[in-house]
Structure 1
């Protein structure tokens, strides 16, 4: 479950301030929506969700290695999107040529780049409808393929 973070006397972090905030708070999983609201996910997942996420990252990583295609990122990798949000999917992949085009500085920050593929794993504390909206926003921001994996729900 993500909680909104309210910071008095500050309307919104600049992109640079957000990067610095994330770097000095590595124990927090931070995302920013298109309105500038920060969302903090501080609680660790339970073992089943953690195992499922690890398996999904592994499978995408194996595919990437076999296909010799691009880079895979876990949930600690953030991306600035065209709607001014900063999101960190559970799994992301970008094509090799897009990775190679990033500067060293961009590779050590959150690039202004929509991944080619994202995967979000629905956990027990997530709201299915809210995550579906998030998936739509990924696509509206230029992600070419977005998967929502829900181990406990039959999606229609």
Structure 2
């Protein structure tokens, strides 16, 4: 596998476009921000090792399932007004605490933790809750590694929803993941009071 460093650039230079087939591209957080600006139609992430990750658009089935997951959390949050909910297009910047720049499929942050925080660009706050949804074409291992990274950063509750195997992997800080087989719902009350996430439309 080829490893390449992105060229040094300023805002005035030509846009940085992507051709990263068979290449691991190493970029700085500043270059990553420019990539996102210059390639708004792509879903991009930056690992803690500054490796660029380019994600293909979701298929219709995964997009529908992700919408169902987001909708449940959005509706609960609208009823309780306890926090703020973000979909898969929302990016987080964890570089200040030794992480990368990631985009969970669904995330939620308790309201008081965002007071005075500028979220016009990437959100510089570790979310309280995240969901990653495995699509039909996703390898499981990278998603599990991503969940472990969320766990390391301090996400209080993380769910890896795996429709292919009818499983949910539950991640909590400083605990081993728990795998639940074919659940009807997942109790999220420990982080989101009164909320239980239905799995009825996932399987």
Scaled by the length of structure 2, what TM-score is found?
0.67
Aligned length in residues: 149
Matches within 5 A, 1:3-152: 6-9=4-7, 12-41=26-55, 43-81=56-94, 82-102=97-117, 106-152=118-164
Unaligned runs of at least 5 residues, structure 2: 9-24, 168-178, 180-203
1:55/1:24 CA distance change after superposition, 3 Å: same
Query: Of Structure 1 and Structure 2, which has the larger fraction of its residues in strand?
Result: 2
Match of 2:193 in 1: none
Asked which structure has the greater RCO (Cα within 8 Å, sep 6+), the reply is: 1
Aligned structure 1 segments of 4 or more residues deviating by more than 3 angstroms? 4-14
Query: Of Structure 1 and Structure 2, which has the larger fraction of its residues in helix?
Result: 1
Tell me how large the CA RMSD over aligned residues is: 2.1
